[in-house]
Amino acid sequence: MPDVSPFKSRIYVRKQKTQLSTEQRAGVLLWQSFPSLVGETRVLPSGLHVRFLRVSKPQLAGRTILFFSDTHIRTAGVRGFFPGVQQGGGTDWLTKAFRELFDSIPMPDCIAFGGDLSGEASWIAKSFVFLRTLPSGPSKFAVCGNWELRRRWLPMERWRELFGEAGFRLLVNETAEAHGIQFFGLDDAKEGGGLSGRAAIPPSENVCVLSHNPDAASAMLLTDKLKGAPLILCGHTHGGQFRIPGFGAVLTSSRFGKRLEYGAYRHSSTGATMYVCAGIGATWFHARICCPPEVLFVNFC
């Protein structure tokens, strides 16, 4: 078990700018919801939902990615409603759910994690033990979420070491290639530095952007630097965590309100596909209503 003590529980909250430029407001309108992009949904005995997304990119045909985000591992469990899914605290339920997951899907070429691994400092070490239980064959990448950064539990280099020991390469405004896919990991927009001017965004059309927060990905496309990126994978919103049928998310933790709350989107100018995953865990309220925990299985065709 990695040595991750002592931990500091000091809360560090960076004030977020709430004013949106005219360009930002116009840019987010270019994202159109496309629920038809999502195919089969498979419900595992544990209650974990697996969404299947097909992305048209012939040069990557046959490549697959498993994306999951926002595990928020902590002592308290997550209560589910309509229908109920009871997620126990800690990593037991999660470990069982992922065992079922890999028994029910083809082994992916790559596994990507979208940030917010632990919800409490005392669970960081065991959270990385969980990550080490995942299959060793696929290439693995991760980005930091706002929870890794807002509380300053660990310096960035220690996060890199721990993810590395668990088999994941942590990407912070940098690129790594696997199976012909150029993974670009974007720094968190809310608590990190966002897209720095020095970020080496590859010109390739085979880019898969990993962004914890969809707000950051939307802002990045305004720079016109990712025109060819076919796919952007995000978390953070939890799909609202509380959803009302016919209305959707009650709260989204997004500067754009409900505009990028959950699901599949297509950018009307660049043609990029973005999926905002509902994630697995919960934040301040330990419940999910009409919003089951989910992972995403991407298949390029």
What is this structure's pTM? Answer: 0.87
- Backbone phi and psi for residue 240, each to the nearest 5 degrees, phi listed first: 95, -25
Check residue 21 and give its pLDDT: 60
Between β-strands 49-55 and 38-43, what pairing exists: parallel, antiparallel or unpaired? Answer: antiparallel
Other Cβ atoms within 10 Å of 273 Cβ, number: 22
Check residue 160 and give its pLDDT: 94
Q: How far is 141 from 183, CA to CA, in rounded Å?
A: 8
What is the H or E stretch that residue 182 is in? strand 181-186
CATH fold of the domain at 51-300: Purple Acid Phosphatase; chain A, domain 2 (3.60.21)
Helices (H), ranges, the chain: 22-28, 92-104, 124-132, 146-150, 156-165, 214-222
- What are the extents of the domains in the chain? 51-300
How large is the C-alpha radius of gyration of the chain?
18
Q: How far is 93 from 100, CA to CA, in rounded Å?
A: 11
- Could you read off the pLDDT tens digit of each residue along the chain, which spans 301 residues? 343 333 332 222 333 344 556 656 666 778 888 888 898 999 999 999 999 999 988 999 999 999 999 999 999 888 887 566 778 889 999 999 999 999 999 999 999 999 999 989 899 999 999 999 999 999 999 999 988 876 577 888 899 999 999 999 999 988 999 999 999 998 876 665 555 545 556 667 788 999 998 887 766 655 555 556 789 999 999 999 899 988 988 888 888 888 889 999 988 877 888 999 999 999 878 889 889 999 999 999 9
Check residue 45 and give its pLDDT: 92
Q: What is the largest CA-CA distance in the chain?
A: 49
| CA distance from start to end of the chain | 40
Closest CA to 230 of 221, 222, 239, 238: 221
53 touches 39 (CB < 8 A): yes
